[in-house]
Amino acid sequence: SSWPRDRSQHGGAIGVPLLVRGGCQRILSSPLNHIYLHKRSGSQQRRHFFFWRQRDISHSVVSPAAVSPAHPVPKRIKKPDYVTTGIVPDWGDSIEVKDEDQIQGLREACRLARHVLLLAGKSLKVDMTTEEIDALVHWEIIRHDAYPSPLGYGRFPKSVCTSVNNVLCHGIPDSRPLQDGDIINIDVTKPAISVKPVGVVFLLPRRASSSLCDSVWV
178 phi and psi, to 5 degrees?
Answer: -70, 140
Q: How many residues does the chain have?
A: 218
Output the pLDDT for position 80.
87
In this prediction, the residues of the chain whose per-residue pLDDT falls under 50 are: 1-16, 22-56, 191-194, 198-218
Closest CA to 129 of 189, 188, 66, 181: 66
Output the pLDDT for position 38.
39
* Domain ranges for the chain: 18-86+100-215
What does the DSSP assignment read for the chain? -PPPTT-TTB-------EEE-S---EEEE-TTS-EEEE---TT------BGGG-TT---PPP-----PPPPP--TTSPPPHHHHH-------S--PPP-HHHHHHHHHHHHHHHHHHHHHHHH--TT-BHHHHHHHHHHHHHHTT-B-TTTTGGG--SSSEEEETT--S-PPP-SPBP-TT-EEEEEEETTEEEEEETEEE-PPPGGGGTSHHHH-B-
Output the pLDDT for position 196.
52
Rg (CA), the chain: 18
Rounded to whole angstroms, how far apart are CA atoms 50 and 52? 6
Output the pLDDT for position 33.
38
Closest CA to 144 of 68, 71, 73, 69: 73
Q: What is the pLDDT of residues 155-178, one digit of tens each?
A: 999 999 998 888 888 899 999 999
Rounded to whole angstroms, how far apart are CA atoms 11 and 144? 8
Output the pLDDT for position 48.
41
For 18-86+100-215, CATH gives 3.90.230.10
Closest CA to 193 of 97, 135, 120: 120
pTM of the model: 0.65
Output the pLDDT for position 58.
60
Closest CA to 129 of 158, 149, 154, 152: 158
